Amino acid sequence: MTATTKTAIVTGGSGAIGSEICRRLASDGFNVVVHYSTDQRSAESVVADIESAGGTAFSMDADVRQESEVTQLFAEAIQRFGGVDVVVVNAGTITSGPIAECTMQDFDQVHAVNSRGAFLTIREAARHVRDDGRILFVSSQLAERPRLGTGIYSATKAAIDAMLVSLSKEVGNRGIAVNSIRPGATSPGMVDQRTEAEKQEFADLSAFDRLGTPTDIAAVASFLASSEGGWITGQQIRADGGMSN
């Protein structure tokens, strides 16, 4: 694999889904910026995996809640690789519990990362992604079908899904496609915070009788980031093994 002139930024690139998207895009020929917030070791491991396979990547920490740090993330990518072609907005956090029992701290914490952080990232992407590029958001099946105890988290995902539809119309004249991927329960991932019984319940909802994997989601991201995905925009793509059917 040789370095390419195309570059992808993946926020939350040290996590389960994010790391697999990083590896997949690198195998597709992208230079990859592996963003992380706290897990430097995992981010560096992803970079090592990419480089050992012949790809090009570097890791960088940034607090996506802070405008200046998101700006610097893009500036560093542009300085190193000359531009940005794909941005995958994957960084996120979750809280669960009945709305009546959620605190303002719960609300503010989730919205700060999932709403504010995602907004700051896609705004910077809209400013800097090159013509014919891609902006992808890793959302959730819960944006469409909230479950008991997911009200705050589901709302953050639904908000950005709506924003992306508008953004797709704003940047479409530059050939930039903007889409959202809605995974179902995916392991390893946030679903691992659930009990075994709850995880089995999610698996039972799938037509394939299993939970999703990060590889499943990375495959969808790979297609949407490719030239073949250019006619799809403003869409929320279900990648949940039929769990929401």
Q: Active-site positions? A: 139-140, 153, 157
Nearest to 55 by CA among 88, 23, 84: 23
191: tokens are 């679903």
